[in-house]
Structure 1
Amino acid sequence: MSAKRTVPENRNHRVFVKADLHRAEEDRLGALRRYGILDSLREADFDEIVKVASAICGTPISVINLIDHGRQWFKAEVGLGVRETPLDSSICAHAILQPGLFIVPDTTLDSRFADNPLVTGDPHLRFYAGALLETPDGFPLGTVCVLDYKPRELDDTQKSFLRLMANQVMKLLELRRISEAEHAARVEAEDLVKEKETLMREGDHRLMNSLQLVQSILALQSRRATNEETKNQLDMASNRVLAIATVHKQLHLTGSHEEIEIDTFMCRLCASLKHTAPAQITAINVDAENASVRSDVASGLGLLVAELATNSFKYAYNPGQTGSVDVSFRTTASGWILKVSDQGQGLPAGFDVDQSKGFGMQVVKAFVRRLDAAMTVSSRPGCTAFEIVRGSN
């Protein structure tokens, strides 16, 4: 590649050869910036390389030099005491245009550097050797170079070592680039998770508002109904919508993402259900084991509890009779057991859960199937219990 004579702005008006730009300079600079190394703090791994290079090659100066736009910047240096210098007088700017190892035994005898101010003036550089720092896709970033105040040569061992150090610097830069990329990907993933959580919260909020609106409409229609059967059906529909809204609200409050603490969830759910219960229900007692379950399982369990508790509110106790509903949950070696019970009048004589065509019981059985569980029912005056088991006891 040809070089051209330029006149730098200095008081001596010396004429020296300035290196041409790389044939793909913008792409080269883009590759350099992707490593995120420019203007970074000093790091021991890079400092050790220049110290060893200077010792092995026997030179007072050693530099890891990166050629930026308008400047050469030193990631590490020995013998210079500065972190950057202007590009116009850079010897390394010439070196990156050459393949492999670039050596100038005596700068005063090389027409490219004889009039260079770094040669004719302070610090009077006479020797240069630089091993190319090259990306995997072939872009030169700079050099690992050694310099001296007197002419000299490098032996084969020193040349091999300088190439080895350049390879080591590129490995460190690649590790740095990969680490930065992983960090950026991690930050992006965390941002996406936060965005997803925000959207989920907004979706939960809108769903709860919609369910509450539907429940309010059903309750209003029930109050206006003149037919008792229609009123009962509207009340049942209203209670079920309220139960679903309550489950979603409690999942939202407990953080419905991956897993949910089931004891906290059950206590909040039952406290909310208690507000919908008639005055004759004195309490909803919860005995739940402290365990984590998936949010979809918690949702199914919550809907089951809400449906069974609502049935107890409606049918367990005779008018004027008071009582409570009990909810328990415990884990087993292979699953869990949910139990909902009351101390009311019991199920009607001859009631068969499997044969029941009642809508409420159909809903309960659908929830049980959804959870891949099995249900047993025991009932007598003073105790009715629904036990839902997943896995063996």
Structure 2
Amino acid sequence: MRQAQELKENRLGLSDRYDVAVTSAAPAFDEIVGLATEVCDAPVATIHFVDEGDQWIQAATSLRDEDSADPGSICALAQPSDEVIVVRDLVTDARFRNYLRTHPASSVRFYAAASLVAPDGTYVGALCVLDRQPRDLSDKQRSLLKALARRVITELELRRSLEAERVARRDAEQLLMEKDRLLAQNHVLMQEVDHRVKNSLQLVSSMLTLQARRLTNIEAALAIKEAQRRIASVAAAHDQLYRASGSDRVDMSVFLEGICGALAAHRPSNVDGIEVRAQPIEFGSKRAMKTGMLVAELVMNGLKHAYPADRHGSIRVELWSTGSIARLTVSDDGVGLPSDFNNEDSPGLGMRLIRSIVDQFGGTLRVEAGHGARVVVDIPKNGANAG
């Protein structure tokens, strides 16, 4: 009969549920067999595990070298039972005649065992007590022996749970490491995409500049300058979205500050600045990008038209929450809009772009004339068209 350490490389059925074959030193099991000898007033107690084709003593107390084969051989003959198995005298019990012939020098006369049964009904062994003289167990001793057998199963289940927790923790650590690796890889890819987008926008802008130098037609030159301005707005929005990208949610207060700061760096000398007052409303990245392009278009219209050379002033950008709506306003104190201006009929490319973006939001657009100009856009926070 092999001991626990010898089964480390050849564990069978029992190890499907419990990894007991590698548990050679088990203080909890030693304590249980010690209690069993006290409770049953027996000189020998063992925890005997069985597997498919294997059996071994996991823990024992007061077991002499010459008796080492006895408990395992006897347990192999006794059938599992819901009740405590009691063999008052092996000599008079027919089940053990062959055992006695094989072990004529055995000193064991009394044997009792409480089966070790896992919660799923699997028989895994027995908690045994042995004596060298015929005897019996009282009802109380039988009950306590069964309770100690349940404690063995509790210890096995605890070890199983701890092992499952260890494996789960190891798997979680591996997942976290993989997550960190993917995030690092994603950051590198984002940097590469950002670099390529910037290069592409810069290339287009440079090509327009070369083309503009060849033009003698003023209208064509202005059209190219307008195209360059819009490329700059897209570049500003892209740059700020990249800087804000840590997740799919973008803090619009930070995002709009960044865009307007980039636009302010190229403002005309008679525009004092671009003021931003925005609540920390979070948009998805797609909606944030569209809002950034909308703000860039409105701000650059103000930079271009609000203040002729003889006037000074600022552009104001505001965003705040009002119920289910995020309200965006871009305003100035400049010369204002023509008296016959109608944003729904305006043929200009700028207003067409603005209307297109607002329609994508499923929002509303309102242009207020008067002292300066004020554009109000209501953007739904939720809904299919919320971006």
- TM bucket (normalised to shorter chain) is 0.5 to 0.7
How far apart, CA to CA, are the structure 2 residues paired with 1:381 and 1:93? 105
Contact 2:230 2:297 in 1 (8 A): no
Q: What TM-score, normalized to structure 1? A: 0.65
Correspondence for 2:274:
284
Matched, 1:220 2:188: no
Matched, 1:267 2:257: yes
Pairing of 1:1-393 with structure 2 (within 5 A): 17-18=1-2, 25-26=10-11, 28=13, 31=16, 100=80, 129=113, 131-132=115-116, 134=118, 136=120, 143=125, 145=127, 147=129, 156-158=142-144, 160-169=146-155, 171-173=157-159, 175-176=161-162, 179-180=165-166, 182-184=168-170, 186-225=172-211, 226=215, 227-252=220-245, 255=246, 257-319=247-309, 321-390=311-380
How far apart, CA to CA, are the structure 2 residues paired with 1:157 and 1:100? 16
Change (3 A) 1:26 1:215: same
Contact 2:237 2:289 in 1 (8 A): no
Change (3 A) 1:39 1:354: farther
How far apart, CA to CA, are the structure 2 residues paired with 1:258 and 1:64? 58
Paired AA for residue 172 in structure 1: L
Residue 153 of structure 1: how far off its partner (Å): 5.5
How far apart, CA to CA, are the structure 2 residues paired with 1:341 and 1:182? 57
Q: Provide Cα deviations, 1:158-178, integer angstroms capped at 9, x if missing partner.
A: 454355435534543554455
Residue 345 of structure 1: how far off its partner (Å): 2.5
**Share of identical aligned residues, percent?**
19
Paired AA for residue 204 in structure 2: L
How far apart, CA to CA, are the structure 2 residues paired with 1:93 and 1:324? 98
Contact 1:288 1:330 in 2 (8 A): yes
How far apart, CA to CA, are the structure 2 residues paired with 1:341 and 1:64? 85
How far apart, CA to CA, are the structure 2 residues paired with 1:276 and 1:52? 87
The alignment partner of 1:355 has SS state of coil
Q: Which moved more, 1:215-224 or 1:375-384?
A: 375-384
Q: Provide Cα deviations, 1:76-103, integer angstroms capped at 9, x if missing partner.
A: x8969xxxxxxx9796799699874697
Residue 111 of structure 1: how far off its partner (Å): 6.2
Residue 216 of structure 1: how far off its partner (Å): 0.9
Q: Provide Cα deviations, 1:204-255, integer angstroms capped at 9, x if missing partner.
A: 3222212211221122112212241452353134223313322322322xx2
Q: Provide Cα deviations, 1:102-142, integer angstroms capped at 9, x if missing partner.
A: 979699995699699xx99xxx9x9674633658595x7x6
Contact 2:248 2:284 in 1 (8 A): yes
How far apart, CA to CA, are the structure 1 residues paired with 2:298 and 2:316? 11
How far apart, CA to CA, are the structure 1 residues paired with 2:237 and 2:21? 52
Contact 1:36 1:177 in 2 (8 A): no
How far apart, CA to CA, are the structure 2 residues paired with 1:373 and 1:112? 96
Change (3 A) 1:238 1:165: same
Paired AA for residue 329 in structure 2: K
Contact 2:307 2:313 in 1 (8 A): yes
Paired AA for residue 354 in structure 1: E
Residue 327 of structure 1: how far off its partner (Å): 1.7
Q: Provide Cα deviations, 1:36-59, integer angstroms capped at 9, x if missing partner.
A: 99699989xx99977876776566
Q: What TM-score, normalized to structure 2? A: 0.66
Q: Which moved more, 1:221-230 or 1:313-322?
A: 313-322
Q: Which has the higher helix share?
A: 2
Paired AA for residue 330 in structure 1: W
Change (3 A) 1:391 1:28: closer
Q: Which moved more, 1:224-233 or 1:288-297?
A: 288-297
Structure 1: state its 5+ residue gaps. 1-16, 81-87
Contact 2:325 2:378 in 1 (8 A): no
Correspondence for 1:9:
none
Change (3 A) 1:234 1:336: closer
How far apart, CA to CA, are the structure 1 residues paired with 2:377 and 2:118? 70
Change (3 A) 1:78 1:326: farther
Paired AA for residue 132 in structure 1: L
- Residues paired across the two proteins, number: 353
Structure 2: state its 5+ residue gaps. 63-67, 383-387
Correspondence for 1:5:
none
Change (3 A) 1:238 1:291: closer
The alignment partner of 2:265 has SS state of helix
How far apart, CA to CA, are the structure 1 residues paired with 2:270 and 2:102? 101
Contact 1:326 1:340 in 2 (8 A): yes
Q: Which moved more, 1:217-226 or 1:171-180?
A: 171-180
